[in-house]
Amino acid sequence: MKKIEIFNSVFFILLGCFFLYLTREMKPEYYTIGPGFFPRMIAGLLILANITRLLLIVFRIETFDARIVYDDKPLYAAAGIFALYAVGNYIIGFTISSLAFLYVMMDLLGNRSLLQKTVTPVAVTLGVKAIFKWVLVLPLPAGFWNIL
């Protein structure tokens, strides 16, 4: 099993390098984010994650075996909630759908503290909005609130 895991990591490192190569022509203009920013970011994260995984495999560092799944129902529920969130982003907007998504996911994952389930979604949503507004200078979906 170790050989296939090493092959898997090397394959995804090469895949990330290939995507970096494909985006070499996509140059940003001045200080704006160009069309190659997000593909390069994903390719870089893919390379970094698989280099880390390769090092863990080679040096035989024990990790959690993610293939052991005790119950599939929470997984299917999370996938359904995420699909609703993706649709809700464009219908009701990023802010409301993110607040609801994070609250429901925290409840699904077993967080029983009402204070944490209310404060964390607000903090994360406002943080992401701030990053997109002031750092990335990209708009988030406003949903039907954009009409009002």
Last residue of a domain, one of 34, 58, 82: 58
pTM above 0.85, yes or no: no
Same domain, 32 and 86: no
Q: Please enumerate, as own/partner, the contacts of 72-81 that have beta carbons within 8 Å and a separation of 24 or more.
A: 74/108, 77/108, 78/105, 78/108, 81/105, 81/108
Same domain, 44 and 77: no
Same domain, 9 and 33: yes
In this structure, what DSSP letter does residue 144 have? G
In this structure, what DSSP letter does residue 131 have? I
Choose among 16, 17, 18, 37: nearest CA to 26: 37
Give pLDDT, residue 35. Answer: 64
Tens of each residue's pLDDT in the chain, 148 residues = 577 778 888 888 888 888 888 877 766 665 566 666 777 788 888 888 888 888 888 887 665 555 555 666 777 888 888 888 888 888 888 888 999 999 998 888 887 788 888 898 999 999 999 988 888 777 888 877 665 4
Residue 20 resides in a domain: yes
Choose among 45, 60, 46, 64: nearest CA to 9: 46
Residue 104 resides in a domain: yes
Please check whether residue 77 is in contact with residue 130, taking contact to mean a CB–CB distance below 8 angstroms: no
Q: Which domain holds residue 6?
A: 2-58
Residue 102 resides in a domain: yes
Strand, coil or helix: 123:
helix
Residue 140 resides in a domain: no
Strand, coil or helix: 42:
helix
Give pLDDT, residue 148. Answer: 45
Same domain, 51 and 78: no
Give pLDDT, residue 59. Answer: 81
Give pLDDT, residue 34. Answer: 63
